[in-house]
Structure formats: C-alpha cells, structure tokens
C-alpha cells in the first residue's frame, strides 16, 4: 500500500519511522517549507535519512501541487501533526482515503489546541482520535480512539509528550494495519458533546485572579508550556509554569505570599498557587523565585491582569 505522509516536527518523524519499521511503503513525505534559519524539520531529516522523497509546497491550493500529489498514486494519506490547510481533494485522491491524528476524544475539543483546552476546562480524561478527515474541522468519521487520564498536576506538555505522543504513533500504525486488512471502521461522530475551541494564545492565557483556585491552576497547567499563562506585575507579563496548588492564604487573591527557593507563591480564592518556573518579557524561563528577586518582587505585592 503506497502511503503519503503529511506532517512535521518530532511526531511526524516518529510516525514515519514507525510506519517504515512496520514494513509499510511510504512513497513521499510532505513537510512545511524550511524556515529562514535553514534548520531542517525533524520529519524532513528522518525522510532524507530513509530515502523517502520530501515535498515542501508553500500552498496546497496550487493545482500543480495537487497534480504532483496525484502522480504519486497514493493508496492512503496519513496526516500526522498537520497545521496547514489541506483541501478535501487530497483526501479523495488516494484509493483508501486519508486518516488524521487528533489529540482529543472527538467530537470534544475540535480545533488546533485540543490538549490545552482539555486541561484548562478541568477535564479528568482525554485521549486521541484517528479519524477520516472531510471538509469540516475535525468532523470526519472515527477509525479508533484511545483514552488517557488527566492527573491533577498534568500540564499540556506532560500529557502530550508522556502519553498522547507515543500512543498517537502507535495508533497511526495500528490504523494503517486495519485499513490494509480491510477492517477499519468509519463511525460517524456524534453531535452530542461536540465542542470547538479557538487556538490557545494570549487571548486565553491571561490569569483572572478572582477565579476559584482550581480554575486558575487549570489555566496555568493548560498553558504550560505554550503560550504560558500570565499575570501582569509592574506592567510586565510574567508567565507561570510548573504550578501546583498549596494551602490557602488570608491575603487577597493575586497577592505574592512568598518568594524563595521553592518558587513563587500567589494567593488565590481557596488556595495558593506555587509556581516553580517563570518567564518575563525578556530573558529565558527561570526559577520563579530567582525571577521574582530579579524583578524586585516581594511579599505583599499584587498581580494585575
């Protein structure tokens, strides 16, 4: 079965390597154009290392690009971590269609920031879906799903790298096997429980210190590592990472309780946010206590937003 892989980054590279290790024939890898820095994408590096042709179109809406794709005579296209807009014509050309990895239990959390929103919204479980893409946003029929629990201190980063990344690579390989054996289901997504959220960026990352402690903690976890939930202190956005909840304080919410070697403690409604890492608008991520000291932050100071 002739497979064309669309993807990028480490997930795309591992998916390619896993498919090849499983004996699948990958005839091309579609990767975003090289950045100005010239640094090669991990998927491009892996493809070149394995002798898989690499294609890097600037737009999939170019008719010449579609003709080139069709000339590959693909039986199946696999979308592994794709951020480009790919028209439905690319899903219709392969004889077996196309499948796509999505890091949520569809139809919940459609959109580009599914893991972030699962944590921000306080979900206790999430997972991944391999589905057959159509013209909608994450709306196609489901091939398979895998579920994972979200721990009380999980972050978007820990969920992805520790569970949804390796499980996703395994699920792609399993899905291709099912397709090859003619046993792959196409289960329509239910309408009940469907949600769509926008990209998780600074519009969602500002901390409202008046919210209950758990909701603040969920926001900080959901924005860790990107984009980084932030509070404003002395006119500067201070981004917060590696947070957990601690015992309550009597100070008003948003107030610095302590700074020190164990991090930065900020009073909340019903708890205290203990932050281990922080980053200002300049410089790298640092120990939160060190950054607080460098900024002249002291107990009793208060964050705004």
What's the Cα-to-Cα distance from 127 to each of 14, 20, 113, 193, 250, rounded to whole Å? Answer: 19, 25, 13, 15, 38
What's the Cα-to-Cα distance from 15 to each of 34, 42, 165, 299, rounded to whole Å? Answer: 20, 11, 10, 48
> Which whole number is the average pLDDT over 149-161?
98
Digit-coded pLDDT (tens) for 114-126: 999 999 999 999 9
> Which whole number is the average pLDDT over 42-51?
98
Q: How confident is the model at residue 257 (pLDDT cuts 50, 70, 90)?
A: very high
Tokens of 246: 């601690």
Q: What is the share, in percent, of the chain residues with pLDDT greater than 90?
A: 98
Digit-coded pLDDT (tens) for 272-302: 999 999 999 998 999 999 999 999 999 999 9
Query: CATH 3.10.25.10 spans which residues of the chain?
Result: 202-294
Q: What is the CATH number of domain 2-180?
A: 3.40.50.170
Task: Tell me the C-alpha distance between 267 and 256, whole Å.
Answer: 6
Could you tell me the pTM of the whole model? 0.96
Digit-coded pLDDT (tens) for 59-115: 999 999 999 999 999 999 999 999 999 999 999 999 999 999 999 999 999 999 999
Is 80 exceeded by the pLDDT of residue 159?
yes
The gap from C-alpha 152 to its chain's centroid, in whole angstroms, comes to 18
Query: CATH 3.40.50.170 spans which residues of the chain?
Result: 2-180
CATH for 202-294, among 3.40.50.300, 3.40.50.150, 3.10.25.10, 3.30.70.260?
Answer: 3.10.25.10
């Amino acid at each position: 079965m002739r497979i064309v892989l669309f993807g990028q980054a480490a997930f795309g590279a591992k998916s390619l390597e896993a498919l090849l290790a499983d004996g699948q024939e990958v005839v091309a890898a579609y990767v975003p154009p090289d950045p100005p820095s010239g640094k090669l994408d991990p998927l491009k590096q892996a493809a070149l290392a394995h002798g898989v042709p690499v294609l890097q179109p600037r737009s999939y809406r170019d008719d010449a690009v579609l003709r080139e794709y069709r000339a590959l005579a693909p039986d199946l296209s696999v979308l592994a971590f794709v951020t480009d807009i790919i028209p439905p014509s690319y899903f219709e050309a392969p004889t077996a269609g196309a499948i796509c990895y999505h890091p949520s239990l569809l139809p919940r959390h459609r959109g580009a920031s599914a893991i972030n929103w699962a944590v921000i919204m306080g979900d206790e479980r999430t997972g991944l879906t391999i589905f057959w893409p159509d013209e909608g946003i994450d709306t196609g029929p489901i091939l398979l799903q895998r579920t994972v629990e979200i721990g009380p201190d999980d972050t978007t980063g820990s969920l992805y790298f520790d569970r949804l990344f390796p499980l996703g690579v395994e699920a792609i390989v399993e899905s291709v096997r099912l397709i090859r054996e003619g046993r792959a289901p196409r289960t329509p997504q239910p309408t009940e429980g469907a949600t769509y959220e926008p990209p998780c960026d600074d519009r969602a990352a500002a901390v409202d210190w008046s919210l209950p402690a758990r909701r603040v903690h969920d926001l900080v976890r959901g924005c860790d590592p990107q984009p980084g939930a932030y509070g404003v202190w002395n006119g500067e956005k201070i981004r917060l990472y590696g947070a957990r909840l601690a015992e309550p304080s009597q100070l008003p919410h948003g107030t610095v309780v302590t700074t020190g070697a164990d991090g930065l403690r900020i009073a909340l409604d019903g708890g205290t946010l203990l932050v281990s890492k922080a980053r200002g608008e300049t410089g790298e991520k640092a120990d939160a206590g060190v950054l607080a000291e460098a900024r002249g932050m002291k107990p009793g100071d208060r964050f705004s937003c």
